[in-house]
Amino acid sequence: MKRKIKQILSALLALVMLVGIVPLADLDVAASALEINGSISFADGKYVLDENGTLTVTGTGTFLASEMYYYLYQQSVDIAVNNYLGQVKKIVIKDGFTDIYGEFPINQLNNCVSIVIPTSVTNVSDETGRIPIICYEGSEGDWEKVENSIPKNQIVYNYDCKYVATISFADGKYIFDENGTLTVTRTDSFYAPEMYFYMYLGDGGCLYNALSLVKKIILDTEIIRISSAPSQYMQYMRNWTDIVVPISVTQIDESAFGNNYGTLLNVYYEGSEEDWNRINIEDGNEQLLTYSSIHYNYRQDIQNVDYLQQEDTHKDFTVTANGRQQMIQFIEPDGGTRTYDRYNKNVSITSYNADGEVVSELSRDLAYEVWNIHSNMSVGVEIKVRGKENYVWDSAEYSFTIEPYNPIVSMELSTTSGKKGPVPATVVADEKTEKVMFKMPNNTSVTVASTATDENGNKIFTGNAWMNEDGLNEIEVKIYRKNIWKTVGTLEYTAE
């Protein structure tokens, strides 16, 4: 009953927003213009949008999704925000909310790929599933306790949105990631209209409204034919710019790349120009042959780069590469390079076959390798990586960014609302952190030392943060390490 009542309230609020029955001046809103890296506050919480398109929502109780239309899209005198929803790529719901109800303004959230849901949430509306990827901070077992009916293939557990959704069907699968790359694995033909069913309609456990988020398509090496694509199916792919075509393709059907592919800019072909000219390309592919750039001999052997987050300038990098690479090279923005061959003292390599079994580096079954490299890289900038195999460097480079080291593992209050007075606070930080300070709005502060360590050797700091103000209290959190006090964030508490 509670769920049904809240859904009705959500629908009523959506109707109010659309027809303008209630003036914004009558709402309990304390809002200012939302700027990049700025925030907009409302009665029960706050929105913060950063330059990467991540919209963070803090608050308590029920998050009413339809309110986003008011605060982040509809321009008004009170809230000078217009069409900020179009800039949102990811929504992060912070711990404190217990319910997500109502319809998200999907037509305006046309670039949003994922939403992060905390473990504090116990009810999620069906309409939340219209956002393609649901990133849940808890385990699969925790999610089963959440009241919802979202298809399981949309859920990524333990808050890992790097590889986001996999759709399996009779003779293949789609893998869709947060960057808008769709990898198609199947045999024989790539039948483009099927994307409409798997990536748009949302039926049968598939993604809803994800076609407009696809930027790049990578076709698997077993595909030999690209079938016709009627325009009524492909009109939704308005952000699609790139496709990788394997050398295995021998046939491109009529209108497979017709004028309905108006945004396609780059075709990356894995073979030579001579190989390309042998493909039977039928009529109606004007976009492909006239307006797109065809890049021959495309190869990207680097599939993934990960690293161990360490404070040291030298870090341990894990590079996954197809085949047996002779060298791996890192390229910094200024053009500087760091190149490692197989026998470098800072390199160790493990070889695998296609089934993920360890094999000899000289085995005929070798499919890919994992390089462990100890190196020094710049932080906070885009690093490009390429491999060298058979004395030829990759024509395409893998890119990644090293995030600045964060000594904070977690920090939280025991509760985010209640009476004024002391509220227990806990901060978990790395082993080099000596003290933690909680600074209150009235400039008083409490400093605490570590009382215990967790299983990873991180220090646990606990103490009382005093809530002295009516309404919102923002508690500044500082840490003392290496003889320097540094602000690491804020904790928010609403005194009722």
Query: Cα angle at 259 between 294 and 130, to 5 degrees?
Result: 95
- Taking only the tens place, the pLDDT of each residue in 233-288 is 667 777 888 999 999 999 999 888 765 555 788 899 999 999 999 999 988 887 77
Q: Which of 251, 266, 295 is the last residue of a domain?
A: 295
Q: State how beta strands 484-495 and 471-481 pair.
A: antiparallel
Q: Residue 444's pLDDT is what?
A: 92
Q: Residue 22's pLDDT is what?
A: 31
Q: Are residues 280 and 422 in the same domain?
A: no
Q: Are residues 13 and 137 in the same domain?
A: yes
Structural contact between residues 47 and 72, judged by C-beta atoms closer than 8 angstroms: yes
Residue 153 to residue 88: CA distance in whole angstroms: 23
Q: Are residues 132 and 175 in the same domain?
A: no
Q: Are residues 452 and 422 in the same domain?
A: yes
Please list, residue by residue across 379-412, b when 16 or more beta carbons sit within 10 angstroms of its beta carbon and e when fewer do.
eeeebbbbbbbeeeebeebbebebeeeebbeebe
15 pLDDT higher than 50: no
100 versus 172: which is more confidently predicted?
100
Structural contact between residues 364 and 351, judged by C-beta atoms closer than 8 angstroms: no
The 3-state DSSP class for residue 489 equals: strand
Q: Are residues 70 and 153 in the same domain?
A: yes
Q: Are residues 221 and 242 in the same domain?
A: yes
Q: Residue 35's pLDDT is what?
A: 42
Residue 26: which pLDDT band, with cuts at 50, 70 and 90? very low
Q: State how beta strands 172-177 and 181-186 pair.
A: antiparallel
| Side chain identity at residue 45, one-letter code | G
Q: Residue 124's pLDDT is what?
A: 92
Q: What is the CATH number of the domain that holds 320?
A: 2.60.40
Domain count, the chain: 4
Scanning the structure block, which residue is given the tokens 């919480």?
45
Q: Which of 235, 269, 295 is the last residue of a domain?
A: 295
- Taking only the tens place, the pLDDT of each residue in 372-430 is 999 988 888 889 999 999 888 998 889 888 888 888 888 999 998 999 999 999 999 98
Q: State how beta strands 398-401 and 382-389 pair.
A: antiparallel
Q: Are residues 99 and 183 in the same domain?
A: no
Residue 412 to residue 13: CA distance in whole angstroms: 32
Q: Which of 161, 189, 204 is the last residue of a domain?
A: 161
Residue 347 structure tokens = 């390199």
Q: Are residues 480 and 391 in the same domain?
A: no
| Region 192-210 average pLDDT | 65
| Region 444-473 average pLDDT | 91
What residue numbers bound the domain in which 440 lies?
Answer: 408-495
Q: What is the CATH number of the domain that holds 415?
A: 2.60.40.10
| Mean pLDDT for the chain overall | 80
User: Closest Cα partner for 431 from 414, 412, 455?
Assistant: 455
Q: Which helix (H) or strand (E) holds 198?
A: helix 194-199
Residue 176 to residue 208: CA distance in whole angstroms: 12
User: Closest Cα partner for 62 from 123, 146, 133?
Assistant: 123
The 3-state DSSP class for residue 318 equals: strand
18 pLDDT higher than 60: no
101 pLDDT higher than 70: yes
Scanning the structure block, which residue is given the tokens 């003292």?
345
> Which range is least confidently modeled, 27-41, 49-63, 112-126?
27-41
Q: Are residues 141 and 39 in the same domain?
A: yes
User: CA dihedral defined by 340, 343, 345, 346, rounded to 10 degrees?
Assistant: 40
- Taking only the tens place, the pLDDT of each residue in 287-311 is 777 888 899 988 889 988 988 777 7
- Taking only the tens place, the pLDDT of each residue in 203-229 is 554 566 677 778 888 998 889 999 887
Q: First-to-last CA distance in the chain? A: 27
Q: Are residues 286 and 347 in the same domain?
A: no
Q: Are residues 205 and 83 in the same domain?
A: no
Specify the DSSP class assigned to residue 283: S
User: Closest Cα partner for 208 from 117, 110, 135?
Assistant: 110
Query: Cα angle at 141 between 136 and 145, to 5 degrees?
Result: 80
Structural contact between residues 180 and 133, judged by C-beta atoms closer than 8 angstroms: no
Q: Are residues 39 and 138 in the same domain?
A: yes
